[in-house]
């Protein structure tokens, strides 16, 4: 059925109907990758926040399951508890005691949002409280039991007691050096990440904080803290603190930044480098937010999923009966680029398995001024993948256009030293005044060339430039049947090397 919906993503998860935002509870367990998500089961806009649920064995093909944590309402229909963003772990050592022999518990920590003042399990909560609660499942995430002592973190630590309405988005993980659980959360308006430790997932001790730093133009949300090898060297490791920011993102509205440094089991300390306090953006497009990584991925890979939308116009995008997709998972790494340790991202390796017929393949070709259609051997309709090395040469701008007349332009701007996505002529843009825009990501050429990998889905384009240190994710809503790929150059001659275009197979079989 998904094949017939003009903007329904064919490469990544979207629910069949209704509103979705952040990915939650990303964890691998027993052959399944779980994707929980912020979900309104009753409408196509935000509200009645519940945890939706889908599973996949390969991170490409998803099965939507019944709600994991449905919103709670009283007899008069008023909301008494909403389930905001959070994370999940598998308690293999049964530290919590929730497990049974041969059945480790999957334990989720979620932000309980209590609209009214009330008493929860004997604990008084004020109206508008955001507190952290846990729930566990013994049947692979299908059914959940809420812990009888919730909330386990009823309020922020004393110095931030006033922030009880903006204390959310707990991300838990196992910290092997000290055999304990660690959690990162935020006091959103203070632009602070808070770190906690626990032996049993129930009792948590506040151990440190980070921030404000970098970009602070909006609330800090959905933190994640991950360790990665630098340049693939397992002996050289760094920690990355990922923070979502809304508004204040690089393309307007929601955005994501990251910090590189160290974590000593208690707190995160950022490395100082020449860039000073300048924000480092995880994605320079407008539509990548609330991204967090999977726990327990086999082989230790670090896989990130983000919400492909923006709070600026998220409830207005022209899709129905569903709204919002999650991104295709991305594999993360750290790479030294021009002397700076940078986060690099690539689509998960499994995505290459979606490649269908080649529509074009050429070793090299010159792009003269103007546009030249690429002679494709089949229909260029999404989903597509394009790979190339773009050599801007003497052109001030050069790159590729998807579509004719109505098109999305992806190029390199020599004056700005940046790769960009221009969606001003991409199709439906009028639903919000800031949607029609051009988004840029600074990137350095290698020997005059820029490696580009572009995933074109129904409803979005994602551009991975260089080693993946510059990424742009943008929604686009082209007219039905939009087809054709052309190369363009402005004010000079450019060149493309190793241009490959594939038609991709849909994940909805």
Return the bridge partners of 209, or none: 194
CB 20 → ligand FRU: shortest distance, Å? 10
Q: Note whether 440 and 416 are within 8 A (CB).
A: yes
Given the complex with ligand FRU, which of 315 and 457 has the nearer CB atom? 315
Given the complex with ligand FRU, which of 84 and 239 has the nearer CB atom? 84
CB 119 → ligand FRU: shortest distance, Å? 23
Given the complex with ligand FRU, which of 256 and 351 has the nearer CB atom? 256
| Distance between CA atoms of residues 139 and 137, nearest Å | 6
DSSP-derived pairing of the beta strands 450-457 and 50-56 = unpaired
Given the complex with ligand FRU, which of 171 and 342 has the nearer CB atom? 171
Other C-beta atoms within 10 Å of 100: how many?
10
Return the bridge partners of 48, or none: none
Q: Note whether 132 and 152 are within 8 A (CB).
A: yes
Q: Exposure of 292 by Cβ count < 10 A (0-12 exposed, 13-18 middle, 19+ buried)?
A: buried
CB 326 → ligand FRU: shortest distance, Å? 12
Q: Note whether 147 and 136 are within 8 A (CB).
A: yes
Dihedral angle sign, alpha carbons of residues 160, 164, 169, 173: positive
Given the complex with ligand FRU, which of 49 and 455 has the nearer CB atom? 49
Given the complex with ligand FRU, which of 56 and 244 has the nearer CB atom? 244
CB 340 → ligand FRU: shortest distance, Å? 28
Q: Note whether 182 and 175 are within 8 A (CB).
A: yes
CB 166 → ligand FRU: shortest distance, Å? 9
Dihedral angle sign, alpha carbons of residues 210, 215, 433, 415: negative
Q: Exposure of 232 by Cβ count < 10 A (0-12 exposed, 13-18 middle, 19+ buried)?
A: exposed
Given the complex with ligand FRU, which of 167 and 488 has the nearer CB atom? 167
| Distance between CA atoms of residues 197 and 170, nearest Å | 12
CB 113 → ligand FRU: shortest distance, Å? 8
Q: Note whether 365 and 495 are within 8 A (CB).
A: yes
DSSP-derived pairing of the beta strands 303-307 and 340-347 = unpaired
- The residues carrying an active-site annotation are 22
Dihedral angle sign, alpha carbons of residues 166, 169, 175, 178: positive
CB 110 → ligand FRU: shortest distance, Å? 9
Given the complex with ligand FRU, which of 307 and 420 has the nearer CB atom? 307
| Distance between CA atoms of residues 360 and 368, nearest Å | 19
CB 412 → ligand FRU: shortest distance, Å? 31
Q: Note whether 462 and 468 are within 8 A (CB).
A: no
Closest CA to 449 of 482, 404, 495: 495
| Distance between CA atoms of residues 224 and 80, nearest Å | 28
**Which residues contact ligand FRU (rule: CB under 6 A)?**
21-22, 38, 49, 84-85, 111, 168-169, 221-222, 290
Given the complex with ligand FRU, which of 6 and 47 has the nearer CB atom? 47
Closest CA to 286 of 446, 170, 437, 396: 437
Dihedral angle sign, alpha carbons of residues 316, 319, 322, 325: negative
Q: With DSSP H G I counted as helix, E B as strand and the rest as coil, what are the percentages for the chain, rounded to 5?
A: 5, 50, 40
Secondary structure letter of residue 103 according to DSSP: B
CB 308 → ligand FRU: shortest distance, Å? 12
CB 140 → ligand FRU: shortest distance, Å? 24
Alpha carbon of residue 320 to chain centroid: 22
| Distance between CA atoms of residues 66 and 22, nearest Å | 17
Which positions ≥6 away from 310 have C-beta within 8 Å?
249, 251, 252, 253, 254, 286, 287, 289
Given the complex with ligand FRU, which of 21 and 327 has the nearer CB atom? 21
């Amino acid at each position: 059925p998904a094949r017939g919906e003009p903007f329904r993503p064919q490469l990544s998860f979207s629910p069949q109907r209704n509103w979705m935002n952040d990915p939650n509870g990303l964890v691998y367990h027993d052959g399944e990758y779980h994707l929980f998500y912020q979900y309104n089961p009753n409408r196509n806009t935000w509200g009645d926040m519940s945890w939706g649920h889908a599973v996949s064995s390969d991170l490409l093909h998803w099965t939507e399951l019944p709600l994991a944590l449905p919103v709670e309402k009283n007899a008069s229909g008023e909301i008494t508890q909403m389930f905001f963003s959070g994370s999940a772990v598998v308690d293999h050592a049964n530290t919590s005691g929730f497990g049974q022999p041969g059945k480790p518990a999957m334990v989720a920590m979620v932000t309980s949002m209590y609209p009214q003042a009330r008493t929860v399990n004997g604990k008084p909560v004020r109206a508008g409280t955001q507190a952290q609660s846990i729930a566990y499942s013994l049947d692979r995430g299908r059914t959940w039991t809420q812990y009888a002592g919730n909330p386990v973190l009823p309020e922020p630590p004393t110095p931030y007691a006033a922030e009880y309405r903006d204390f959310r988005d707990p991300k838990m993980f196992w910290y092997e050096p000290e055999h304990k659980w660690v959690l990162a959360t935020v006091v959103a308006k203070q632009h602070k990440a808070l770190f906690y430790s626990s032996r049993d997932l129930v009792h948590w001790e506040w151990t440190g904080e980070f921030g404000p730093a970098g970009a602070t133009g909006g609330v800090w949300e959905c933190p994640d803290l991950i360790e990665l090898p630098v340049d693939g060297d397992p002996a050289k490791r760094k920690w990355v603190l990922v923070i979502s920011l809304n508004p204040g993102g690089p393309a307007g509205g929601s955005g994501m930044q990251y910090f590189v440094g160290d974590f000593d089991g208690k707190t995160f300390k950022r490395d100082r480098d020449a860039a000073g306090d300048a924000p480092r953006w995880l994605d320079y497009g407008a539509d990548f937010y609330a991204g967090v990584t999977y726990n327990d991925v086999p082989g230790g890979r670090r896989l990130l999923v983000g919400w492909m939308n923006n709070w600026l116009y998220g409830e207005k995008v022209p899709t129905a009966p569903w709204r919002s997709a999650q991104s295709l998972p991305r594999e993360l790494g750290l790479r030294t680029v021009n002397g700076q340790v940078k986060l690099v991202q690539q689509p998960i390796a499994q995505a290459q398995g979606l490649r269908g017929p080649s529509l074009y393949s050429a070793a090299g070709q010159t792009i003269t001024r103007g546009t030249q259609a690429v002679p494709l051997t089949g229909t260029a309709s999404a989903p597509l993948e394009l790979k190339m090395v773009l050599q801007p040469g003497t052109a001030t701008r050069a790159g590729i256009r998807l579509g004719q007349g109505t098109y999305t332009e992806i190029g390199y701007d020599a004056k700005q030293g940046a790769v960009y996505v221009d969606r001003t002529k991409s199709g439906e843009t009028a639903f919000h005044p800031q949607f029609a825009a051009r988004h840029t990501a600074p990137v350095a050429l290698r020997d005059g060339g820029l490696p580009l990998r572009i995933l074109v889905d129904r409803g979005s384009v994602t551009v991975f430039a260089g080693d993946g240190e510059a990424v742009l994710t943008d929604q686009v809503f082209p007219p039905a049947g939009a087809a054709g790929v052309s190369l363009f150059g402005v004010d000079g001659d450019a060149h493309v090397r190793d241009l490959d275009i594939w038609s991709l197979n849909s994940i909805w079989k």
